[in-house]
Structure 1
């Protein structure tokens, strides 16, 4: 007698909503409306005879029954995705899907993709820069590049490279910070922050011992790209993150204003989905990306900082 299964579309809605704890985020991921997610899950709950979510005005959470059910559903979709990827004639074998933060994608990954295309012209690459949690392999991604202090247990993580943090600003703005003794007075500066950064001005000031500067004020942006652009426009001093800021340092659109360069505690990691080793195209991409990271780490040069001392 065949097993009776709930509607697969409703299960997909449940898996995404349970993972995100949000109907809205699940809808965005699956390219449907939040109403469709809600109605699908209501139908699933009626079919199962249990409530899967606790619905509150500003909060969605799994019921105990939903929390118990979610791992089974996620595992089932994962097995289907893995089995599909391993089919010998699966057309998806020639497309590589990568999840990556937008600034890293535009400033580090994108400039290198032409080299990959030259070597493997028949392999297509899809880059997704949306800010969302990636579920392997249900979401269809082969790789994700993430910031972390250490690899996460149970996942295939390979370190790419770390960041070097140094204050940067436009040459014209730098001149406004020079005091009567010829030193750069960081207390005069408007600090430019990145809200999403795990290490920002507070981390740099603590490491270099400038505890008298209050980093709470200034301008704030949600992405690194905007912080760099604001610094180029002369709006203040941003915390430059090498290698992401290397382009502006090379053209002198931004200059380093301190000899104090710290190595970030976090690093970029390449996270691989299960089954990568079974696909030659994914193996080639992973090895290529790791070799690019090794080249970067080995070829770094010192940051040219402004002459004179920095006071705070």
Structure 2
């Protein structure tokens, strides 16, 4: 006896919209348009013969039928996802979706990703830099790269690289200030502060046992990337964060001052369920990214080179932290 099922893809759309309470957020997660979500759920409602959502001026709410249906659909999809992950002998020919801290994606991951796609051309990679919480495995994300102080319970955490911090500035700014003592130099140029991170200038001064400049001039930005770009433009001195600034240092667009770099409390971590790490795609990605980090800074392919386009779907790549 065959199963009497509605169109299975509409169940995925319904589960995401019910969990997130929004067609737009569901569309962002699945990487389709809100209109496609709405049409898919309308198809499901027509098939079921009942409404699943109240669509009102104040937003989206589940009907009693929708409230009863949502946990059952989520459980069923979770069983299917788990069964697929556990399938023995499956080759690494599927999709790999990685949610990444945006600055890490921009400054480190994306410039190197062509090396992964050249090694494994049959793996289709999606990079998602939105800040929404990743609910494994139903969110459609296989792995997440996060900046944090320590692993959290519930998932498997692999430390990728600890952050190291050191003041940095442009060569032109350094040449413009005739001060030999680089710690003293900090009092002769604006310090660029990042308002959204815990470890910034105050933590660095405390760790080095140095008093902040009494006449400090400051520029405040809300992202690590903007701080680095401001320093490269000669606006002031930023707190550089390795490995994100490694390429800038190698290229000479930034210089370390008042070094050496000191360890921060934070690291970048690769996060996923233990089941996810059993997939061939995720095993290969974890091994690759750890090897890249062990190799340190290597020449990157020119961004203007005529090379084959890899199978990558960047989503919402920005300069937010």
What TM-score results when the alignment is normalised by the length of structure 2?
0.68
Structure 2 residue 320 is matched with structure 1 residue 286: no
Separation (CA, whole Å) in 1 of partners of 2:256 and 2:67: 50
Q: Judging changes above 3 Å, is the alpha-carbon distance between structure 1 residues 191 and 83 closer, same or farther for their aligned structure 2 residues?
A: same
| Aligned residue in 2 for 1:33 | 34
Aligned partner of residue 225 in structure 2, secondary structure: helix
1:170 offset after TM fit, Å? 0.6
1:227-238 aligned within 5 A: 227-238=227-238
CA distance in 1, matches of 2:146, 2:178: 38
- Contact 1:163-1:242 at 8 Å conserved across structures: yes
Which residue of structure 2 lines up, in the alignment, with residue 201 of structure 1?
Answer: 201
Q: Could you say what secondary structure the match of 2:187 adopts?
A: helix
Shift of 1:76: 3.4
| Distance (whole Å) between structure 2 residues aligned to residue 18 and residue 142 of structure 1 | 21
- 2:276 is the alignment partner of 1:276: yes
**1:186–1:66: structure 2 CA closer, same or farther, 3 Å change rule?**
farther
Q: Are 1:78 and 2:73 counterparts?
A: no
Output the CA distance in 2 between the equivalents of 1:55 and 1:216: 48
SS, match of residue 192 in structure 2: strand
- The equivalent residue for 1:309 is none
2:125 counterpart of 1:130 = no
The answer to whether the 8 A contact 1:95-1:126 is kept is yes
How many equivalent pairs are there? Answer: 292
Residues 177-216 of structure 1: matches in 2 within 5 Å? Answer: 177-178=177-178, 184-208=184-208, 209-211=210-212
Checking the alignment, whether the CA contact within 8 Å between 2:24 and 2:33 is kept in structure 1 is: no
Give me the whole-angstrom Cα distance separating, in 1, the residues matched to 2:84 and 2:66.
Answer: 27
SS at match of 1:259: coil
Aligned to 1:239: 239
The 3 A distance-change label for structure 1 pair 216 and 274 is farther
Secondary structure in structure 1 of the residue aligned to 2:266: strand
Report Cα offsets for 1:174-206 as digits up to 9, x if no partner.
Answer: 244555988634234323344443433333233
Deviations 1:72-124 (A, max 9, x none): 65443322223344557978843322222343234333444444445x34432
2:141 match: secondary structure: coil
Structure 1 residue ranges without an equivalent (≥5): 298-312
Which secondary structure does the structure 1 equivalent of 2:259 belong to?
A: coil
Of 74-83 and 5-14, deviating more is 5-14
* Structure 1 residues 2-17: aligned runs within 5 Å: 12=12, 15-17=15-17
**Residue deviations 1:134-180, cap 9 Å, x none?**
22222333222111111121201111111111111112222445559
Gaps of 5+ in 2: 298-321
Determine which structure has greater relative contact order: mean sequence separation of CA pairs < 8 Å that are 6+ residues apart, divided by chain length. Answer: 2
Cα distance change, pair 166–28 in 1 and its aligned pair in 2 (3 A): same
Please tell me whether the aligned partners of residues 85 and 276 of structure 2 are also in contact (alpha carbons under 8 angstroms): no
Q: In the alignment, is the contact (CA less than 8 A) between 1:169 and 1:236 conserved in 2?
A: yes
Question: Are the equivalent residues in 1 in contact too, given 2:29–2:140 (CA < 8 A)?
Answer: no
Matches of 1:14 and 1:171, distance apart in 2: 54
How far does the alpha carbon of each residue in 1:284-305 deviate from its partner, in whole angstroms, 9 at most, with x for none? 32223233334449xxxxxxxx
Q: Which moved more, 1:88-97 or 1:109-118?
A: 88-97
Matches of 2:156 and 2:174 in 1, distance apart?
43
On the 8 A contact 1:164/1:261 being kept in 2, the answer is yes
